[in-house]
């Protein structure tokens, strides 16, 4: 996690770095810092969000047309000014920002300390500038010393390094994301494209173990893997800067929830050739695994129900972090479908590496083309949802569901019917995200905002919605929310129900009878029942009306709860775009 950005060009670097940091804050926001270079380094860093630090320290007077910056999600060392990046060497000649984890930092630090290096922080990152300094002492130049230092690092990194006497940025990546932006007379290097999208749409996706040297006159890329200079082509992204801005919305979360009117349609705009190719690989596979983390995992769970219903097909759904335990079932005929919004989740990448080592074919479903996952897969499908900035996954989830549903239709030879059904949903989503529905949900949020626990139940496909809904509520409002399969209540969880305990019940035509009887069991023990259902029922204390959408129910039913989670956070005085302890791309294991 953590976000990094660097700039070299003719403009004042600080405003570019500052705005870039704000766009990267979804990756971490416990401290931040900027260093610029003219004749010397000028550095400011502190704990807090970028805007808060700016109010205290005023970044704007940092001079120079070259600089690097960082926004942090702490892994090694507490949230302190000393641990905030950039980090420097003993003499303050080298400055580094880093995203990732240096696994062998303790060993490296021990050696450096025994060679007289003085450390100022508890971070793993600080070994990097000291290591470069140590190698430079032996007579190597800054660039070559950085290459040597990188060779001794174990773990993952995206780093940007500066030397006080040289007008250049050394940018390197291994396992953590880093993209280069190319504009007239200037270069950017950042964890993600939105950080510099207002300046250029021309990007170079760095490959793993690439080290780029950015100067005023050009860019050169060296591959640590291939051991020489390499050519990396410049791509043009079709993202629009407005997609990375809040516009009329108070928060990205609400903006992205509203965007689902379009993003579900965009997800299913796949060509027949692409879909046919995927259908072919699914049909020819001997064993299929869907792997993902968090919200993307919930989309996989829903997909497994849809595939079983529509195609009588069995797929294994495994949390990416648990996947290595399935070693014995993997063969070169196994198809692994890795699902990830960011395409950078360390658990997913690790699982894919594991599967590849056993010869499995990898198909990925991602929202960020050019991410590590797209590059390591045999083929990939693009969710086309546009940048998702809020830490919480909302639009990417419904896009994943839409794409999986489309594949299920295609597998039963009904691609066009599937497209039609999914396209039609824009109408439903438009209504569910309207001001009237939002007002009604706010009424519910007022009733729930001081509750300590919220339970959620569903059966079949609606059980997977309950799981995702619980995650949305808990991660943004910090209210304990827990989902159960309706049939499991009597096996234990019902003991938790007390007078006034809220329970959200997801109802579909298929599961109505049984899930309503579970709702009645909760109600007769004092529970407060919120029905997410096409029709009202006397058991409901509060009714959120959603139309019956059969296989598409997961897409439709999650939307009111995304809005509820948002409203709960706002009413509790929390920032929905930046929940505590979380970061958007989880690039650590």
Give the catalytic positions in this structure. Answer: 2, 584
Specify the residue, 34 or 254, whose C-beta has the smaller distance to ligand F6R: 254
Q: Pick the closest to residue 472 from 239, 254, 159 (CA basis).
A: 254
| Residue 456 CB neighbours (<10 A) | 26
Exposure on the CB side of residue 543, measured as CA atoms within 13 A: 12
Q: What's the min distance (Å) between Cβ of 572 and ligand F6R?
A: 17
Run of H or E residues at 422 = helix 415-432
DSSP 118-141: ---SS-STTHHHHHHHHHHHTT--
DSSP character string of 46-67: EES-HHHHHHHH-GGG---SEE
Nearest approach, Cβ of residue 414 and ligand F6R (Å) = 28
- Using CB under 6 A as the binding criterion, the count of chain residues that bind ligand F6R stands at 14
Distance CA 397, CA 251 (A): 18
- The answer to whether the beta carbons of residues 174 and 375 sit under 8 Å apart is no
Q: Which stretch binds ligand F6R (CB under 6 A): 224-232, 292-300, 426-434, 531-539?
A: 292-300
| 3-state SS assignment for residue 171 | strand
Q: Is 156 in the site for ligand F6R (CB under 6 A)?
A: no
The single residue among 31, 75, 125, 341 that binds ligand F6R, judged by CB under 6 A, is: 341
The least distance separating ligand F6R from the CB of residue 291, rounded to whole angstroms, comes to: 10
Which residues are 156's β-sheet partners? Answer: 101
User: Under the criterion CB under 6 A, does residue 145 sit at the interface with ligand F6R?
Assistant: no
Only one of the segments 131-139, 217-225, 340-348, 352-360 lies at the binding site for ligand F6R (rule: CB under 6 A); that segment is: 340-348
Interface segment toward ligand F6R; rule CB under 6 A; list 256-264, 291-299, 376-384, 504-512: 291-299
83 versus 296: smaller Cβ distance to ligand F6R: 296
**Interface with ligand F6R includes 393 (CB under 6 A)?**
yes
Q: How far is CA 233 from CA 180, 221, 244, 286, in A?
A: 11, 11, 24, 36
Among 6, 294, 458, 527, binds ligand F6R (CB under 6 A): 294
* Alpha-carbon gap, residue 289 to 361, rounded angstroms: 10
Residue whose Cβ sits closest to ligand F6R:
294
Touching ligand F6R, residues 447-486 (CB under 6 A): 471, 475
CB closer to ligand F6R, 302 vs 393: 393
Q: Which of 125, 340, 376, 518 is in the footprint of ligand F6R by CB under 6 A?
A: 340
As measured in angstroms, the least distance from the Cβ of 338 to ligand F6R is 9
- Please say which residue, 186 or 342, places its beta carbon nearer to ligand F6R: 342
**Between residues 330 and 586, which has the closer beta carbon with respect to ligand F6R?**
586
Q: What is the DSSP letter of 451?
A: -
Please name the helix (run of DSSP H) or strand (run of DSSP E) that holds residue 187, with its range, or none.
strand 186-190
- Cβ proximity to ligand F6R: between 295 and 376 the closer is 295
- 577 neighbors 394 (Cβ within 8 angstroms): no
Biggest CA pair distance of the chain: 81
SS3 per-residue string spanning 488-510: HHHHCHHHHCCCCCEEEEECCCC
For the chain, the distance separating the N- and C-terminal CA atoms, rounded to the nearest angstrom, is 11
Q: How far is the CB of 378 from ligand F6R (least distance, A)?
A: 18
Which of 257, 586, 587, 588 is the binder for ligand F6R (CB under 6 A)?
586
Question: What is the closest distance, in whole angstroms, from the C-beta atom of residue 463 to ligand F6R in the complex?
Answer: 18
Interface residues with ligand F6R (CB under 6 A) are 293-296, 340-342, 345, 348, 392-393, 471, 475, 586
């Amino acid at each position: 996690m953590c976000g990094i950005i660097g700039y070299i060009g003719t403009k004042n670097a600080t405003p570019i770095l500052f705005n870039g940091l704000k766009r990267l804050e979804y990756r971490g926001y416990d401290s931040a810092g900027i260093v610029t270079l003219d004749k010397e380094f000028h550095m400011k860093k502190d704990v807090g969000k970028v805007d808060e630090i700016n109010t205290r320290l005023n970044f704007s007077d940092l001079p120079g047309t070259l600089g690097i910056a960082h926004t942090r999600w702490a892994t090694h060392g507490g949230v302190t000014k000393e641990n905030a990046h950039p980090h420097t060497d003993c003499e303050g000649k080298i400055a580094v920002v880093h995203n990732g984890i240096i696994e062998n930092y303790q060993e490296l630090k021990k050696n450096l300390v025994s060679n007289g290096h003085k450390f100022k922080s508890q971070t793993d990152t600080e070994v990097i500038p000291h290591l470069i300094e140590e190698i430079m002492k032996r007579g190597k130049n800054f660039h070559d010393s950085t290459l040597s230092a990188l060779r001794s690092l174990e773990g993952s990194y995206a780093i940007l390094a500066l030397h006080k006497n040289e007008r250049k940025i050394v940018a390197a990546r291994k396992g953590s994301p880093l993209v280069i932006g190319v504009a007239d007379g200037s270069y950017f290097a950042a964890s993600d494209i939105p950080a510099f999208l207002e300046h250029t749409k021309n990007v170079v996706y760095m490959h793993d173990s690439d080290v780029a040297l950015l100067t005023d006159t050009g860019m050169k890329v060296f591959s640590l893997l291939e051991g020489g200079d390499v050519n990396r082509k410049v791509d043009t992204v079709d993202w629009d800067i407005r997609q990375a801005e809040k516009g009329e919305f108070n928060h990205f979360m609400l903006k992205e929830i509203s965007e689902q009117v379009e993003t579900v349609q965009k997800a299913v705009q796949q060509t027949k050739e692409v879909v046919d190719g995927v259908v072919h690989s699914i049909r020819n596979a001997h064993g299929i695994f869907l792997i993902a983390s968090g919200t993307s995992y919930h989309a996989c769970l829903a997909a497994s129900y849809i595939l079983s219903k529509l195609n009588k097909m069995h797929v294994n759904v495994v949390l990416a972090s648990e996947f290595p335990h399935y070693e014995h079932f993997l063969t070169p005929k196994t198809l692994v479908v890795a699902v990830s919004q960011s395409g950078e989740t360390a658990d997913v990448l690790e699982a894919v590496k594991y599967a590849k080592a056993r010869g499995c074919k990898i198909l990925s479903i991602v929202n960020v083309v050019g991410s590590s996952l797209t590059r390591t897969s045999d083929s990939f499908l693009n969710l086309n949802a546009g940048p998702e900035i809020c830490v919480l996954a909302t639009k990417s989830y419904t896009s994943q569901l839409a794409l999986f549903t489309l594949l299920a239709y295609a597998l039963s030879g009904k691609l066009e019917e599937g497209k039609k059904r999914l396209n039609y949903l824009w109408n439903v989503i438009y209504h569910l995200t309207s001001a009237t529905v939002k007002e009604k949900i706010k009424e519910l949020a007022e009733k729930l905002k001081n509750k300590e626990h919220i339970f959620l139940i569903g059966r079949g496909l609606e059980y997977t919605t309950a799981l995702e809904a619980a995650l949305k509520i808990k991660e943004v409002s910090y209210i304990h929310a827990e989902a159960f399969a309706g049939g499991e209540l009597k096996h234990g969880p019902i003991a938790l129900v007390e007078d006034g305990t809220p329970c959200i019940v997801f109802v579909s035509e298929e599961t109505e009878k049984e899930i309503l009887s579970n709702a009645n069991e909760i109600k007769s023990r004092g529970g407060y029942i919120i029905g997410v259902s096409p029709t009202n029922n006397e058991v409901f204390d509060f009714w959120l009306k959603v139309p019956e959408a059969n296989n598409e129910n997961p897409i439709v039913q999650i939307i009111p709860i995304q809005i509820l989670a948002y409203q709960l956070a706002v009413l509790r005085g929390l920032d929905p775009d930046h929940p505590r302890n979380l970061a958007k791309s989880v690039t650590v294991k």
